[in-house]
Structure 1
Amino acid sequence: MGAAAIRLEPTAPPVMQRARGAGRILVAGDDGRTRLRTLYQEGCAKLRLPNTHDGSVQAVLINTAGGLTGGDRIDWQAEAGAHARLVLTTQACERLYRSTGPDAVVETRLTVGENARIDWLPQETILFSGSRLRRALSVDLAPDATFLAVESIILGREAMGEDARDAHLFDTWRIRVGGRLVHAEANRIDGDTWSRDGLAALAGNRAFATILLIAPDAARRLDAVRALLPAKSLSAASAVAGRLVIRAAAPSGLALRRIIAPILNQLSGAGSLPRLWHL
């Protein structure tokens, strides 16, 4: 008697659990102080409001998933109403872990009202080997509003000897004042040798940052900022049309922070960085 044929059906790939989060905060000016109006959090995105002593509201953005990997998504949204001041920072460095294919996605949308200010001061993002991150920052400002932003990237874990050559990053900024686009950029890092080693790119450095200030007095801050830039570092500052832009690259995350921290201290609304930057 012949053996019965056994037919094996293809099995579907396992469905991986992915992190999802959304956080939203709205503040408004009220008699010289800033008051909380709306606070919303969902999934792995949490917001905490430490005490401040300068009339502003400070919000700490927390990803309780403990990092991001391919297919994860977080959306942040914040608005500072007229005459309000809002500082946004993160509890710690965000970590991007190896992906099995898709990108992790982080989208941030900020609105800054009349004579208001937002300081967007997240701590560094660390891209581990094989990680993939697609990130977008969209900001709408009133004509007399002020906006300070920093984004810092560290490629690999220095203590482990990683340089994350196969990490992928696609980062876009779109900043509008009075509905008019005034600043746009797109940064892409991948396994291409030129993007990591080219003299016009990272020049072999493993950490880099962009600082942007949009304010009525932004151009007048240029000389003071340039005085803070180390003479032998790969960093520069420029000012045009109400924008002050600083770019810096360094061989390590610690070296990068030593460059950008004094600049952020000087440009921040409080005159100092949030306490979590010093822990």
Structure 2
Amino acid sequence: MIRTDHPTLQRVRATGRLSVKHSDGRTRIDRLFQEGAAKIRFPAPESPAIEAVLINTAGGLTGGDTVDWTINAATGTRLTLTTQACEKVYRTAGGHAEISVSLKAGADARIAWLPQETILFDRSALRRRLDVDLAQGASILLLEATIFGRAAMGEHVETAMFSDRWRVRVEGSLVHAEDFRIGPDIAMQLAGPAMAGGGRAVATLLMIGDAAERMLEPARAIIGEHGGASHWRIGPSGKLLARLVATDGYALRARLIPLVGLLNGQAGLPKIWTS
């Protein structure tokens, strides 16, 4: 059984905040704050669009660790966010690891939140929260991918706790909400046909913007029988939601690479994904 008490141990505290602004036809860094295990690096800090790489220098998380990212993209900016590597969540000795992400985009801004996969180990516990606040005319692409043990490494997750909470608002109005919870009997639940049918890797992508509707059929062609995608109108814009299930992380990324490349338009894949 996973312990939920908190022994007195040194814990990871990672806080990163980034604001970008539009100036002279480019997206530029406005404010940057990093504390604890959080680091933010920029392959090209001043360009028409910025790609920011978020780093947890602790190399992984366990119970009681916290990571907090706050991102603000001002009017007219273009920003892609990814992570240096997959985030690993190890066996907990007590409590949950917690990851909180807050994204805000001004009018005509575009954010792509494209972290690499989160890997859960046996007897791990993770709470993840994503809050998004968009101005009218802003667009966003969100991705979260989770692997329940790496098949190539012989890892198998029998028991763990995982919850994922998303709230997305446009001009203060809620346009997308979901709460996903699984555990403690992870292996049994993933084996169910209504969950993952034995798959060990899952991903959710959400796109909000004017291009969402015309991306639906190309996205479905890439996903095939490994998930599904749907589209809704939300005022003058659109919402595309896609879910993928795969046998392992390798098979999942084989679908994610072309799908992210399609949905992220001219920005394409984060450079670190292919380096």
TM-score class, shorter-chain normalisation, is over 0.9
Unaligned runs of 5+ in 1: 1-12
Residue 162 of structure 1, CA deviation: 2.1
Deviation at residue 278 of structure 1 after TM alignment: 1.3
Match of 1:58, SS? strand
| 2:152 corresponds to 1:152 | no
CA contact (8 A) 2:15 2:68 kept: yes
CA contact (8 A) 2:27 2:46 kept: no
| Cα separation, 2, equivalents of 1:174 and 1:34 | 26
Distance 2:140 2:71 in 1: 12
Q: 2:104 matched to which residue of 1?
A: 111
| Structure 1 match to 2:127 | 134
Aligned pair partner of 1:212 in 197, 206, 216:
206
Per the TM alignment, residue 234 of structure 1 is displaced from its structure 2 partner at its CA by 2.4
Aligned match for 2:269, one of 254, 266, 273: 273
In structure 2, which of residues 240, 243, 266 is the aligned counterpart of residue 244 of structure 1?
240
User: Within 5 A, what are the aligned runs for 1:167-246?
Assistant: 167-192=160-185, 195-230=189-224, 233-241=225-233, 242-246=238-242
- Among 247, 251, 257, the residue aligned to 1:255: 251
Measure how far apart 1:54 and its partner are. Answer: 5.7
Q: Tell me how far apart the structure 1 counterparts of residues 188 and 160 of structure 2 sit (CA, whole Å).
A: 14
How far apart, CA to CA, are the structure 2 residues paired with 1:225 and 1:128?
30
Q: Hey, what's the Cα distance between the residues in 1 that align with 2:87 and 2:209? A: 28
Residue 73 of structure 1 pairs with residue 66 of structure 2: yes
Count the aligned residue pairs. Answer: 265
Q: What's the offset of the Cα at 1:229? A: 2.1
Q: Distance in 1 between matches of 2:264 and 2:134?
A: 17
1:9 paired residue number: none
Match of 1:10? Answer: none
Q: Is the 8 A contact 2:14 2:66 kept in 1?
A: yes
CA RMSD after TM alignment: 1.5
Of 52, 59, 63, the match for 1:59: 52
Structure 2, unmatched stretches of 5+, are 1-5
Structure 1: how far apart are the matches of 2:117 and 2:77?
Answer: 26
- Is residue 219–residue 229 contact of structure 2 (8 Å, CA) maintained in 1? yes
Q: Kindly state the Cα deviation for residue 270 of structure 1 after the two structures are TM-superposed.
A: 3.2
| C-alpha distance in structure 2 between counterparts of 1:219 and 1:264, whole Å | 15
Partner of 1:40: 33
Q: Which has the larger radius of gyration?
A: 1
Q: Deviations over 1:254-275 (max 9, x none)?
A: 1000111101001114342111
* Residue pair 1:194, 1:201 contacting (<8 A) in 2 also: no
Report the identity percentage.
48
TM-score, length-normalised on structure 1?
Answer: 0.91
Query: In the alignment, what sits opposite 1:121?
Result: 114
CA distance in 2, matches of 1:238, 1:53: 36
Which one of the candidate residues 71, 85, 91 is aligned to 1:92? 85
CA distance in 1, matches of 2:24, 2:248: 44
Preserved CA contact (<8 Å) 2:62 2:91: yes
Give 2:3's aligned residue: none
Distance of 1:122 and 1:144 partners within structure 2: 24
Q: Deviations over 1:152-181 (max 9, x none)?
A: 000012133222121211000000001000
TM-score (norm 2): 0.92
Q: Determine helix, strand or coil for the equivalent of 1:98.
A: coil
> Amino acid of the residue matched to residue 197 of structure 2?
A
Q: Which amino acid aligns with 2:109?
A: A
Q: Secondary structure at the match of 2:179?
A: strand
2:260 pairs with 1:264 = yes
Separation in 2, partners of 1:28, 1:106: 25
- Report what 1:16 is aligned to: 9
